[in-house]
Structure 1
Amino acid sequence: MVLNEASAHLVTGLLCTLIPILLADEVVILPAPQNLSIHSVNMKHILTWNPVIVPGEAVNYSVQYQGEYERTFANFSWIFSSWCSSISTPACNVTDDITTTVAYNFQVKATLGNHSSAWSTLKEFFNRNSTILTSPKMNISTDGYNLIVEFEDLGPYFEFNVTYWKKRFNSQQEIKTVRKGGHPEHLTIMEAGAEYCVKAQTIVDIIDRSSDFNQVECIRAQDESPLLALVLFSSAGFILFLVGLPLFIWKMSQLLRYSCCPVVVLPDTLKITDSPQKLISCKKEDIEPCETVVQVMYPEEFFHSWIQDTL
């Protein structure tokens, strides 16, 4: 009887010693990630936590989320995040997991080989309508007299409420909604020489929120006088070109004609006529009743008569 009691105590002692050794592989040896928080700006939601440090080892993390549906209709079940399973960085972009404007909860665990930590849960639920909306980045420019504005593309949920006006006393403000960023948008036709100002705010309809207005930016339209002078100068030059070109061509043709093929005008005395040469003689003393004597002479007779007169 004494032997049996001693044997029982011995077996109990052995079991108490062996059980922790046998179950050592199942014991959680990693601390759970701490200080979970979500940083959300312009509908981009980033879950972060403190890293778990194991010297000489690379610790991975897995993320799960729970929405209103899981809490109400799926017995508080959890779903693994789309992009955050066995990741090495202590941060996870959970934007694609948050698809509705309801309260979400998140939990994270660390893993190292076959060992895992306990799940660490977000202290407060997160709703995407608490995201921080920043004032939009805006660029205004002119194209001729057209006022152009362009915004940074923030995604499909974002629109921009634009207010613009001509800078003068009691000027009426105009409002326009730009449906998408990333491309130029025409606002209005500007008056020559006038200055226009623009401001805008970000709008997200799915959470029924808007940002503050950004800083007002102004730009001046070009003056009309330089443009008008340029048009008049161009028109005058074109007219002079149309008039001067034919004149220049005609003048050059005349110069080329008389330079290359000059026309020689012979004196009347050297011109050859169809009839024999005519000699006209008129005495000086008979100026008033000058009689014209026409005598037809052959060249030999003319030469002989000239010799006699000379002698």
Structure 2
Amino acid sequence: MNGAEWLLVLLLLHPPPADCRLSLPQPSNVSITSYNMEHTLSFKPDPRTPPDTHFTVQILSSRRKPWKPVPTCSWLVAGQTCNLNTAFKDPSDHYRARVQAKAVNHTSRWTVSDQFQPLTDTVLGPPNVSVSGCGNCLVLQVRVPTAGTLKHDPHLKDMYWQLILHVHRTRDDARFRLQLPYKEESRITYLQPGVEYCVTVSVTSFFTHKSVSSKPQCAFTSSPAAQSSVCVVLGLLCAFSLLALLLLVVALYGSQLSITLLGRHLPRPKLCKCSS
């Protein structure tokens, strides 16, 4: 037998794999992260991956099968991520994603991510917080943060359920923790007047306790001197108002009295009798 015949015999005895196109190394570290309901898939190409390789992404829903391609992530290059906000239509559903490397006439095996649920796996970022003094209390204002690609995610505000407050009194380093229901404006009461307090806020929901705290926001409660000054000003205003009212009553009564006395002292006109 010549060489060609021997090669034919070897191919008959040891046929090649059914899919001989699976020759590219598959990507690794396929993971989904979520921050303020912004869902991002990332992956790591194999070091042996050729430079002309691109990557495609598919997702699988636990309620809708089979795997479906993500149109915006069908031609990724190494180092790119995939935004899955529009792909994950139901935030309460469970999803998986997979990535495949592709080149001319070659593909890799799929690499599958762990299971992901948007509502429970997202991390709630720090809210926008401001504080101001109000006597022996602080007024706390909390706003939903603006998301990255979505100006206001429709599900994000609905997830805010409870505020976790860490309050720090700077004068003596005293600290305490509060839990309040979520409102855009709340009051932290029973504080010392004229003292600086710093407040750090994080939020939780019914679905997740994964959150990032805001930066400390500090403000002074109103000082006792300021409160007494306000009381003095209000007292003076009340006194001036009463005095003005008294003067007005006296003026009206005095005018009426003057008219009466004047009428008594003026000579009355004499009536003359005319004879016919």
TM range (shorter): 0.5 to 0.7
Inter-partner Cα distance in structure 1 for 2:84 and 2:144: 22
Which residue pairs with 2:180 in the alignment?
175
Could you list the per-position Cα deviations for residues 16-59 of structure 1 after superposition, in whole angstroms to 9, with x for gaps in the alignment? Answer: 59xx9xxxx96333222123223344433332222144677232
How far off its partner does 1:200 sit? 3.4
| Residue aligning to 1:103 | 94
C-alpha separation between the residues in 2 aligned to 1:36 and 1:212? 24
Code of the aligned partner of 1:84: C
Return 5+ residue gaps in structure 1 as ranges: 1-5, 180-184, 236-311
Query: After superposition, where does 1:31-180 map in structure 2 within 5 Å?
Result: 31-53=25-47, 57-70=51-64, 74=65, 77-88=66-77, 89-98=79-88, 99-122=90-113, 124-131=114-121, 133=123, 136-137=126-127, 139-142=129-132, 147-151=139-143, 153=145, 155=153, 156-157=155-156, 158-159=159-160, 161=163, 175-178=180-183
1:147 deviation in Å?
2.1
Change (3 A) 1:61 1:125: same
SS state at 2:222 partner: coil
Q: Which amino acid aligns with 1:58?
A: D
Structure 2 stretches lacking a partner, 5+ long:
148-152, 237-276
Amino acid at match of 1:103: H
Q: How does 1:1-311 map to 2 (within 5 A)?
A: 13=8, 27-53=21-47, 57-70=51-64, 74=65, 77-88=66-77, 89-98=79-88, 99-122=90-113, 124-131=114-121, 133=123, 136-137=126-127, 139-142=129-132, 147-151=139-143, 153=145, 155=153, 156-157=155-156, 158-159=159-160, 161=163, 175-178=180-183, 185=185, 187=187, 193=194, 198-205=199-206, 207=207, 209=209, 211=211, 219-223=219-223, 225=225, 228=229
Larger-gyration structure (1/2)? 1
Relative to 1, partners in 2 of residues 1:86 and 1:136: Cα closer, same or farther, differing over 3 Å? Answer: same
**Cα distance between partner residues in 2 of 1:226 and 1:121:** 64
Distance 1:148 1:11, change over 3 A: closer
TM-score (normalised: structure 1): 0.48
Question: Using a 3 Å threshold, how does the CA distance of structure 1 residues 178 and 87 change in structure 2: closer, same or farther?
Answer: farther
Cα gap change, 1:97 to 1:216, in 2 (>3 Å) = same
Secondary structure in 2 aligned to 1:142? strand
3-state DSSP class of the match of 2:63? Answer: helix
| Partner Cα distance (1:112, 1:134) in 2 | 38
Whole-angstrom distance in 1 between the partners of 2:112 and 2:49:
25
Distance 1:109 1:26 in 2: 16
The aligned counterpart of 1:303 is none
CA distance in 2, matches of 1:132, 1:107: 19
Higher relative contact order (CA 8 A, sep 6+): 2
Q: 1:210 to 1:86 in 2, by over 3 A?
A: closer
Taking structure 2 as the reference length, the TM-score comes to: 0.53
Q: 1:130 to 1:192 in 2, by over 3 A?
A: closer
Report the count of equivalent residues: 206
* In 1, Cα distance between equivalents of 2:31 and 2:123: 18
